[in-house]
Structure 1
Amino acid sequence: WKTEIPLPGFNSPVIWNSRIYISGATKEERRVFCFDFNNGKLLWEKKIDFFRGKLPFAGDDTGYAAPTLASDGFVYALFGTQELVCLDSMGNIKWQKIIEPMDNPYGYASSLLVYSNLLFIQFDQETVGKIMALHTDSGNTAWETSRPVMPGWSSPALFNINNSLQLVLTANPIIAGYNPFTGAEIWRMEGMEGEVAPSAAFDKFIFAANEYASLMAIDPANNSIIWQEYDELPDVSSPVAQNGLLFESTAAGMILCYDCNNGKKLWKHQTETGFYSSPVITDSAVYFTDLKGTVYVFAAARGKKLLSKNQMGENMSATPAFYKQKIIFRSDKFLYCIGENKKQ
């Protein structure tokens, strides 16, 4: 199926219990949308309009609906207007709040993360850098931890590292791990530079990358850099890692595969268009979606094998979501559900 999206936004689709959640925004209005996964029908939309005052700045490549939503049955949406809202599965507002002023060169873009009744927000701005956790039942602050960083656009990632959960955040100049339940900093490594948007990946080591810095493999157990790569780096798209292989895509249109253990570049593939969408890895394949909506599917293997190349025919910046053997893509104007249409 294919369904039109009423408002623009760069956030990626999230799926919970066969419901797809996205947001859209302009300077005049902000909305949260819920679509039926099975047929693409718009089940409900909720207008968000409780900010009063001068809107924070947002560039055209960011807009006011860049952060991807989070869901644990309830739905959490954050807009570049400082509006944060929690809705139930029917679109009723459970709580809402204005978070502190957003101040960065392009507009707010860090996505939300929810786990164990806590909502995590990476808030790296000109005036303040911090990671904070809110209680999901009320929106009240559970904890917050200051971070000595420059403005950034990356998002928090939650990894099981040495049998312990850690929030891992990337920014200029540090990559750091935090206890998700207390906010205590566990480790910190300097090395990032520039305007950091890619989030971290994990497979035995932490992987952090950004254009004008490097691709770093970090062992958080002893706070050491295992290897670094300085060429062909992402500036928006986040890397992914699994089974000893690391994959990344760049705004210059390069797709790369590395050996996680030693940083050896196993293969690469040059495309005609760059990538903002992050790659998605399954058991046997890796999916890369470029800015013009071309989807490259490679085998998740040490040898280069292009399984398919598909033209969606729409501009795409969002990362696709995978659910029940189907893929949900978001273009500038539409949601697509791709998969085998089995007859009942």
Structure 2
Amino acid sequence: MKPITVSHLAMILCLVTSSSLATSGCQKKTPVDEITVAESGIEVQPLTRPELQSQWPQWRGSTGDGVVALVDGTATESELAAPPTTWSESDNIRWRSPVPGRGHSSPIIVGDLVVMATANDADQRQSVVAYDRQTGATVWQSLIHEGGFPNPRDVHSKATNANGTIASDGNLFITAFLNDRRIVVTALDQSGQQVWQTDVGAFASRFGYAPSPLIYQSLVIIAADNGGGGYLAGLDLQSGKVAWRRDRGAFDSYSSPTVATVGGEDQLLITGGGRLASYDPATGTPIWETPCISDATCGTVVATKDSIFASGGYPDKETICLTARGERQWSNGTKIYEPSMITDGNHLFGVTDDGIAMCWSVADGDMKWKKRLGGNFSSSPILVGDSIYVSDLSGNTYVFRASGEEYQQVAKNQLGSDCYASPAYADGCLYYRIGLGEGEQRSEQLVCIAE
């Protein structure tokens, strides 16, 4: 099926289970006020941040795909600082620090700081916390919102009020929270002081808000698909002013957007609403869209220089490969819903929500191997060197080779009681947000794993 080019598109990360998604109830519809760059007068400015290539500044790292980037583009795999592949509650643990509240916001690493969003439901406080990267000591904690939480019935039982991962350009830390039925984006400086705050638009919560902000050049891009009227928005990074906003239609979906250079062109890619759509990240202008997957999706798109991959969803299920122009290359009936997939350029790897690891050939979709790991998964994998790390909801982290020959397990490591967030990597260290205990006794920790 060929892609459909449109003048207006009407898509996005999740922490929900397919069994809990039912027919959408009545949600108040709020018209989306579209804004173009011609109307805002804000144009994207090209920015380079080479120092961030060796850090982990946003959801899925500096490259946005969970793959550890080479520091200068010339280093060989053997020159990468490899993290441990084995650990326990005591072995290869550099430090452990308590996390106030609860959240699925994954850690990011910028300079000497590890930064996450968190929420305290009892006090209805949404905050950002920064830790010293070397010691784990709390450097600062900034309160973003107090009150304004959605009704608990409008947040999925697996989700939190701090799902999205923070994004940073190396100077500012950008977070997006659902508060008072609005998506509010806040920028903090290196000391945790607020620089700006912008109300991006209304949000009718069905299971909560999940997408993470994305930095592209001088913009921060926000996704907010919801049954009341979804949208994508690009904000000026320095001022917080809306540069563009694009109507996405009224449907509930949960995927975070990504920008990938595919076919020699920067494309803003996102699934949801029964399609995979491409936009110009500088202007929000639609490029193409292809009907596929399902209405609701959770995972973030991954890509090579020529191909685009995505999976999900609810109520339908599909894993798909598209060309740079949105044409179907191959697909199958596999559903990888909450976790995102990962690729080494030759193979596509994924772990389903119910614990089946799979590997396909990028070229033709041929399944190379399939292995039942067991357990349930929400966390997304990362690839460091030739090793893939992925955690389940019982606190087990599986480490296996990024091989197309067969499943080759390196280690299975237990840490804590659960792991919803995805890990971050920098300079030979892994950073995990984990849960300890259950129910009202559950608490969270940030853990640095290193030799």
TM-score (norm 1): 0.94
1:186 is the counterpart of 2:287: yes
- Among 23, 32, 45, the alignment partner of 2:117 is 23
Question: 1:2·1:337 contact (CA, 8 Å) conserved in 2?
Answer: yes
Q: Return the offset for 1:115.
A: 2.1
* 8 Å Cα contact 2:233/2:244 also seen in 1: yes
Shift of 1:54: 6.6
Aligned to 1:159: 260
Q: Shift in Å at residue 52 of structure 1?
A: 5.5
Instruction: Tell me how far 1:99 sits from its aligned partner.
Output: 3.1
Which SS does the other structure have where 1:147 is aligned?
strand
Is contact 1:254–1:274 with CA below 8 Å preserved after alignment?
no
Identity across matched positions, percent: 27
Instruction: Pick one of 105, 125, 135 that aligns with 2:236.
Output: 135
Match of 2:172 in 1: 74
Instruction: Using the TM superposition, give the Cα deviation of residue 50 of structure 1 relative to its aligned residue in structure 2, in angstroms.
Output: 6.2
Q: Which amino acid letter does the alignment assign opposite residue 220 of structure 1?
A: A
- Paired residue for 1:64? 161
> Which of structures 1 and 2 has the larger relative contact order (alpha carbons within 8 angstroms, sep 6+)?
2
User: Once the 2 structures are TM-superposed, how far is the Cα of residue 147 of structure 1 from its aligned partner?
Assistant: 1.9
Sort the Cα spacing of 1:34 and 1:301 in 2 relative to 1 into closer, same or farther, 3 A: same
Which of 268, 274, 282 matches 1:173?
274
Q: Deviations over 1:193-245 (max 9, x none)?
A: 14211111112311010033200000123x311111103x2111011112211
Are residues 1:46 and 2:142 paired? yes
After TM superposition, list the pairs within 5 Å mapping 1:168-317 onto structure 2.
168-203=269-304, 204-211=306-313, 212-221=316-325, 223-231=326-334, 233-303=335-405, 304-317=407-420
- Rounded to whole Å, the distance in 2 between the matches of 1:53 and 1:111 is 18
Aligned Cα RMSD in Å?
1.6
CA–CA distance in structure 2, aligned partners of residues 173 and 53 of structure 1: 29
Q: Which amino acid counterpart does residue 140 of structure 2 have in structure 1?
A: W
Partner of 2:69: none
Matched with 1:35 is 131
**Unaligned 5+ residue runs, structure 1?**
none
Q: CA deviation at 1:59?
A: 2.6
1:119–1:133 CA contact under 8 A, matched in 2: yes
- Aligned match of 2:440: none
* Contact 2:149 2:178 (8 Å CA) reproduced: no
Q: CA deviation at 1:39?
A: 1.0
Q: Higher helix share goes to which structure?
A: 2
Query: Separation in 1 of the partners of 2:332 and 2:408?
Result: 23
Match runs of 1:98-137 below 5 Å? 98-137=199-238
Q: Which has a greater percent of strand?
A: 1
SS across alignment from 1:237: coil
User: Residue 125 of structure 2 contacts residue 146 of structure 2 at CA under 8 Å; is this kept in 1?
Assistant: no
The answer to whether the 8 Å contact 2:293/2:319 transfers is: no
Q: Determine the C-alpha separation between the residues in 1 that align with 2:319 and 2:196.
A: 40
Is there any run of 5+ residues in structure 2 with no aligned partner, and where?
1-94, 436-443
Q: Report the AA paired with residue 289 of structure 1.
A: S
Shift of 1:51: 6.2
Secondary structure of 2:114's counterpart equals: strand
The Cα of 1:282 is off from its aligned counterpart by 2.1
Provide the TM-score with structure 2 as the length reference: 0.72
CA contact (8 A) 2:348 2:360 kept: yes
Would the aligned equivalents of 1:149 and 1:171 in 2 still touch at CA under 8 Å? no
TM-fit CA distance, 1:264:
1.0
Task: Tell me how far apart the structure 1 counterparts of residues 188 and 299 of structure 2 sit (CA, whole Å).
Answer: 28
Q: CA deviation at 1:55?
A: 6.0
Once the two structures are superposed, residues 59-107 of structure 1 have per-residue CA deviations (whole angstroms, 9 ceiling, x without a partner) of 3322210111101121011112133210001001001133322213200
Q: Could you tell me how far 1:159 is from its partner in structure 2?
A: 0.4
Query: Cα 1:184–1:166, aligned 2, differ >3 Å: closer, same or farther?
Result: same
* Structure 1 CA distance for aligned equivalents of residues 247 and 199 of structure 2: 19
